[in-house]
Amino acid sequence: MSENITKEELQQDENLIYCKSKVLTDNEFHYCPGCGHGTVHRIIAEVVEEMGIQGQTIGVAPVGCSVLAYNYFDFDCQGAAHGRAPAVATAIKRLLPDRYVFTYQGDGDLAAIGTAETIHACNRGENIAIIFINNGIYGMTGGQMAPTTLEGMKTATSPYGRSIADTGSPLRITEMIAILPGTHYVTRQAVHSPAAVRKTKKAIRKAFENQDLKQGLSFIEIVSNCNSGWKMNPRQANDWMVEHMFPYYPLGDIKVDGQLVK
Amino acid sequence: MKELRLMKGNEAIAEGAIRAGADGYFGYPITPQSEIMEYLMAEKPKERTGMVVLQAESETASINMVYGGAGCGKRVMTSSSSPGISLMQEGLSYMAGAELPCLVVNVVRGGPGLGTIQPSQADYFQTVKGGGHGDYKLITLAPASVQEMYDFVSLGFELAFKYRNPCMILSDGVIGQMMEKVEIGDQEPRWSDAYIREHHPWSTLGKTPDRPHNIITSLELESSRQEKVNLKIQAKYRILETEEVRYEMIDCEDADYVFVAYGSSARICQKAMELGREKGIKIGLLRPITLYPFPVKVLHDLAGKTKGMLVVEMSAGQMIEDVKLAVECRVHVEHYGRFGGIIPSPSEVLHALENQIIGG
Ligand SMILES: Cc1ncc(C[n+]2csc(CCOP(=O)(O)OP(=O)(O)O)c2C)c(N)n1
Ligand code: SF4
Residues B234-244 pLDDT 10s: 999 999 999 99
Contact at CB, A120 and B60, closer than 8 angstroms: no
A105 beta partners: A132
Question: Ligand 2 pocket, A65 CB below 6 A?
Answer: yes
Q: Which helix H or strand E contains A260, and what residues bound it?
A: strand A259-260
Q: Closest partner residue to B64 among A71, A76, A88, by Cβ?
A: A88
Closest CA in chain A for residue B93: A81
Q: How far apart are CA A171 and CA A187, in angstroms?
A: 16
**Which residue's C-alpha comes closest to atom 10 of ligand 1?**
A64
Contact A142, A156 (CB under 8 A): yes
Contact B283, B353 (CB under 8 A): yes
Query: Which among B278, B284, B264, B270 is positioned nearest to B331, based on CA atoms?
Result: B284
> Which residues lie below 8 Å from residue B262, measured CB to CB, with a gap of 6+?
B121, B142, B144, B170, B287, B288, B289, B291, B313, B319
**Nearest atom within ligand 2 for CA of residue A34:** 7
Residues B20-40 pLDDT 10s: 999 999 999 999 999 999 999
From the options 3.40.50.620, 3.30.450.20, 3.30.70.890, 3.40.50.970, give the CATH code of B3-193.
Answer: 3.40.50.970
Length of chain B equals 360
pTM (predicted TM-score): 0.97
* Eight-class DSSP state of A158: B
Q: How many secondary structure helices (H) and strands (E) does chain A include?
A: 11, 10
Average pLDDT, chain B: 97
Contact at CB, B91 and A25, closer than 8 angstroms: no
Question: Ligand 1 pocket, A83 CB below 6 A?
Answer: no
How many CB atoms neighbour CB A175 within 10 A? 16
Amino acid in the structure at residue B345? S
Q: How far apart are CA B245 and CA B298, in angstroms?
A: 10
Centre of ligand 1 from the C-alpha of residue A127, in Å:
25
Contact at CB, A77 and B61, closer than 8 angstroms: no
* Averaged pLDDT for residues B99-118: 97
| Chain A CB contacts of B56 below 8 Å | 87, 120
Residues B170-218 pLDDT 10s: 999 999 999 999 999 999 999 999 999 999 999 999 999 999 999 999 9
Measured in whole angstroms, the distance separating CA A246 from the mean position of its chain's CA atoms is 16
Q: Which helix H or strand E contains A199, and what residues bound it?
A: helix A194-213
Q: Which helix H or strand E contains A176, and what residues bound it?
A: helix A173-178
CA angle A60, B127, B184 (to 5 degrees): 85
Centre of ligand 2 from the C-alpha of residue B256, in Å:
68
Amino acid in the structure at residue A150? L
Centre of ligand 1 from the C-alpha of residue B115, in Å:
32
**Nearest atom within ligand 2 for CA of residue A135:** 3
Closest CA in chain A for residue B71: A78
> Which residues lie below 8 Å from residue A67, measured CB to CB, with a gap of 6+?
A61, A79, A140, B219
Half-sphere exposure of B122 (CA within 13 A, CB side): 23
Coil, helix or strand for A92?
A: helix
Question: Ligand 2 pocket, A134 CB below 6 A?
Answer: no
Residue scoring higher pLDDT (B1 or B28): B28
Contact at CB, B204 and A80, closer than 8 angstroms: no
> Which residues lie below 8 Å from residue A13, measured CB to CB, with a gap of 6+?
none
* Averaged pLDDT for residues B223-243: 97
| Chain A CB contacts of B22 below 8 Å | none
| Chain B CB contacts of A57 below 8 Å | 206
Closest CA in chain A for residue B221: A68
Centre of ligand 1 from the C-alpha of residue A82, in Å:
6
Centre of ligand 2 from the C-alpha of residue A66, in Å:
9
Ligand found nearest the CA of A83: 1
> Which residues lie below 8 Å from residue B3, measured CB to CB, with a gap of 6+?
B183, B184
Q: Tell me, what's the pLDDT at B182? A: 98
> Mutate which of B59, B63, B207, B211 to disrupt the A interface (most A C-beta within 10 Å)?
B207
Question: Ligand 1 pocket, A61 CB below 6 A?
Answer: no
| Chain B CB contacts of A89 below 8 Å | 68
Closest CA in chain B for residue A74: B213
Q: Tell me, what's the pLDDT at A2? A: 53
Half-sphere exposure of B158 (CA within 13 A, CB side): 9
Structural domain boundaries in chain B: 3-193, 247-358
Contact A221, A191 (CB under 8 A): no
State the complex-level ipTM: 0.97
Interface of A with B in 172-231 (CB under 8 A): none
Query: Which among B302, B303, B349, B296 is positioned nearest to B329, based on CA atoms?
Result: B303
Contact B89, B67 (CB under 8 A): no
Q: Closest partner residue to A79 among B62, B207, B216, by Cβ?
A: B216
Centre of ligand 2 from the C-alpha of residue A39, in Å:
12
Q: How far apart are CA A202 and CA A196, in angstroms?
A: 10
Contact A122, A110 (CB under 8 A): no
Structural domain boundaries in chain A: 30-139+172-257
Ligand found nearest the CA of A191: 2
Contact at CB, B219 and A25, closer than 8 angstroms: no
A173 phi and psi, to 5 degrees?
A: -70, -25
Testing ligand 2's pocket by substitution, the residue of A28, A41, A104, A140 carrying the most ligand atoms inside 8 A of its CB is A140
Task: Establish whether domains B3-193 and B247-358 are of one fold.
Answer: yes
**Nearest atom within ligand 1 for CA of residue A140:** 19
pLDDT of chain A along its 262 residues, tens only? Answer: 456 888 888 888 888 888 899 999 999 999 999 999 999 999 999 999 999 999 999 999 999 999 999 999 999 999 999 999 999 999 999 999 999 999 999 999 999 999 999 999 999 999 999 999 999 999 999 999 999 999 999 999 999 999 999 999 999 999 999 999 999 999 999 999 999 999 999 999 999 999 999 999 999 999 999 999 999 999 999 999 999 999 999 999 999 999 999 8
A38 phi and psi, to 5 degrees?
A: -60, -40
- Which CATH superfamily does the domain covering A30-139+172-257 fall into? Thiamin diphosphate (ThDP)-binding fold, Pyr/PP domains (3.40.50.970)
B308 beta partners: B257, B332
Q: Say if A71 is an interface residue toward chain B (CB within 8 Å).
A: yes
A119 phi and psi, to 5 degrees?
A: -65, -40
Identify each DSSP E strand in B15-165 by its residue range: 24-27, 52-55, 76-80, 102-108, 139-141
How many CB atoms neighbour CB B4 within 10 A? 10
Contact B79, B36 (CB under 8 A): yes
Question: Ligand 2 pocket, A58 CB below 6 A?
Answer: no
Q: Tell me, what's the pLDDT at A13? A: 84
Long-range residue pairs from A44-49, CB within 8 A, at least 24 positions apart, any chain = A44/A73, A44/A102, A44/A104, A44/A131, A44/A204, A45/A21, A45/A72, A45/A73, A45/A74, A46/A21, A46/A201, A47/A201, A47/A204, A47/A205, A47/A208, A48/A21, A48/A23, A48/A73, A48/A75, A48/A100, A48/A208, A49/A21, A49/A22, A49/A23
- By 3-state DSSP, what share of chain A in percent is helix, strand and coil, each rounded to 5? 40, 20, 40
Contact at CB, A76 and B56, closer than 8 angstroms: no
Instruction: Tell me the angle at which helices B89-97 and B59-71 cross, rounded to the nearest 10 degrees.
Output: 20
Centre of ligand 2 from the C-alpha of residue A239, in Å:
16
Q: How far apart are CA B120 and CA B90, in angstroms?
A: 23
Contact at CB, B61 and A120, closer than 8 angstroms: yes
Domain B247-358 sits in CATH 3.90.1150.10? no
Q: Tell me, what's the pLDDT at A18? A: 87
